[in-house]
Amino acid sequence: MAEPVALAALAIDVAVGWPAWLYARVGHPVGAIARVIGVLEGRWNRPGLPRRLLGLATIAIVVALTALVAVLAERGVRAVGLGWIGVAVLAWPGLAQRSLYEHVRPVATALAGGDLVTARQAVAMIVGRDTAALDAAGVARAAIESLAESFCDGVAAPLFWLLVGGVPGLWAYKAINTADSLIGHREERWRDFGWAAARLDDLANLVPARVAAVLLCAAGGGGWRVMWRDARRHASPNAGWTEAAMAGVLAVRLAGPVAYDGVTVDKPWIGDGEPAAGAADIARALRVYGAACGLLWIIAGIVAWAS
């Protein structure tokens, strides 16, 4: 049996998450990655410079530096005798099972209590769209979509790269995903500079997104037809898989028209459920999410046992 690093990291994450007191004192490793990206973007993303080339250099530097730090950290914990438990601790901050649940649950609680204002405030913490004018169904859709997409970005994909490439693989993925979230946008400022980050993130999530979608359908006991039919309706080559899977499992419609910075984007609908999504659907989505995370635990255990 191989070292159960992935399984232990999942267990630590569920047990403690990333506590607020720890964040207040030391921040989070992703924050350090973001600062490096911010420095490079501030220096190189300027008119007159070869932005696409410098954006490629930025992602190469950030990924290489992050992976190197992970390699050195793993060697360090092993050198002091902490073994695979120490390695699991290094992997733990790269997983977000508990924090994702803790961010989405308050949205369902507020909606269930009829407090739309608080629900909007809660969902605004996890989505990039305009939330001030969302009705209850819009808030519910936003929360469910974020949960479905983040199941891949925050849990399934980091675990996939941990199993494939160890701790350096996990943190290289987190560097790519962080760069995409910061600079991989289509707006004029980032279109060229963030091109490499966006394309590399698409590639890094290609397999994990589809695995995550299958796990959501398996955990929810259905949704396969909608997943296959609607996955490609999303602008992202990957996010549509988990969103379509969740829409199919819950029998609700997701996506549709969304406003960003006051501009409405007419996105295609994903799923064909009626009536509109609500608080109960967020609660159901969280149960499906929890079961899908449990399937990831089983996969991590099988990999450790079989290796």
Residues sharing a CB contact under 8 Å with residue 185, sequence separation 6 or more, in sequence order: 191, 194, 198
Mean pLDDT over 151-180 rounds to: 97
pTM of the model: 0.95
Q: Is 140 helix (H, G, I), strand (E, B) or coil?
A: helix
Instruction: For residues 168-196, give the mean pLDDT.
Output: 95
One-letter amino acid at 32 equals A
The pairs formed by 197-205 with CB atoms below 8 angstroms and a separation of 24 or more are: 197/55, 197/58, 197/59, 200/59, 200/63, 200/176, 201/176, 201/177, 202/236, 202/237, 202/238, 204/157, 204/161, 204/173, 204/176, 204/177, 205/152, 205/153, 205/157, 205/177, 205/238
Average pLDDT estimate for 167-185: 96
The pLDDT tens digits for 187-199 are 889 899 999 999 9
Residue 3's pLDDT band (cuts 50, 70, 90): confident
- DSSP, res 28: -
Note whether 154 and 144 are within 8 A (CB): no
Q: Once rounded to an integer, what is the mean pLDDT over residues 289-302?
A: 97
Q: Is the pLDDT of residue 275 over 70?
A: no
**What one-character DSSP code corresponds to residue 184?**
-
State the pLDDT at residue 131. Answer: 85
Question: In this structure, are residues 125 and 146 in contact, taking their beta carbons and an 8 Å threshold?
Answer: no
Cα–Cα distance, 241 to 149 (Å, whole number): 8
The mean pLDDT value of the chain amounts to: 94
pLDDT at residue 61 tops 80: yes
Contact 67, 170 (CB under 8 A): no
DSSP 3-state percent helix, strand, coil across the chain (nearest 5): 75, 5, 20
pLDDT given at position 187 = 86
- Domain map (residue ranges) of the chain: 5-306
If one compares 270 and 259, the residue with the highest pLDDT of the two is: 270
Task: Write out the two tokens for 55.
Answer: 């954006």
Which residue did the predictor score with more confidence, 135 or 264?
135
